[in-house]
């Protein structure tokens, strides 16, 4: 991901932001997304996903409920995992085989505009 972002000139940071997410027991759980890319006031948080885990999906869905709509939370997962990931766990999702699409999407975001819409896959 980093090589592709750098190749097309997208400045990014690694685990530079720290968040807290409430867990099912109402405790704070730390969360530092792997990659942060800033486009004006819009933050792209990119997190690779190595496995399909219901607890992780629930935690990520809570993250999206708790934080600003100016954050675009993007998951990148192996192609075979995509069908197992619920839409509530991300704003946008990309297959690991489409890292160029992810990088181009971030680079193409107008830093002064509204967040470009992303069509989530249908029900699984």
Structure pTM? 0.89
- Give the CA dihedral 63, 66, 71, 72, nearest 10 degrees: 40
| Model confidence pLDDT, tens digit, residues 96-115 | 999 999 999 999 999 888 88
Q: What are phi and psi of 24, to 5 degrees?
A: -60, -25
For the chain, which domains are there? 2-108 (3.40.1350.10)
| Model confidence pLDDT, tens digit, residues 42-98 | 999 999 998 888 888 998 999 998 887 779 999 999 999 999 999 999 999 999 999
C-alpha angle 11/3/101, rounded to 5°? 85
Tokens of residue 108, six digits: 């193409």
Q: Are 60 and 67 in contact (CB under 8 A)?
A: no
- Give the CA dihedral 66, 18, 114, 111, nearest 10 degrees: 170
């Amino acid at each position: 991901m980093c090589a592709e972002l750098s190749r097309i000139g997208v400045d990014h940071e690694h685990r530079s932001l720290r968040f807290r997410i409430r867990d099912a027991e109402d405790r704070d759980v730390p969360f530092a997304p792997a990659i942060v890319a800033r486009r004006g006031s819009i933050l792209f948080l990119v997190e690779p996903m190595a496995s399909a885990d219901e607890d992780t999906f629930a935690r990520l869905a809570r993250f999206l409920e708790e934080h600003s709509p100016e954050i675009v939370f993007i998951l990148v997962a192996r192609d075979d995992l995509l069908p197992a990931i619920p839409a509530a766990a991300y704003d946008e999702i990309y297959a690991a085989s489409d890292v160029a699409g992810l990088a181009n999407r971030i680079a193409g975001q107008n830093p002064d505009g509204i967040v470009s819409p992303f069509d989530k896959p249908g029900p699984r």
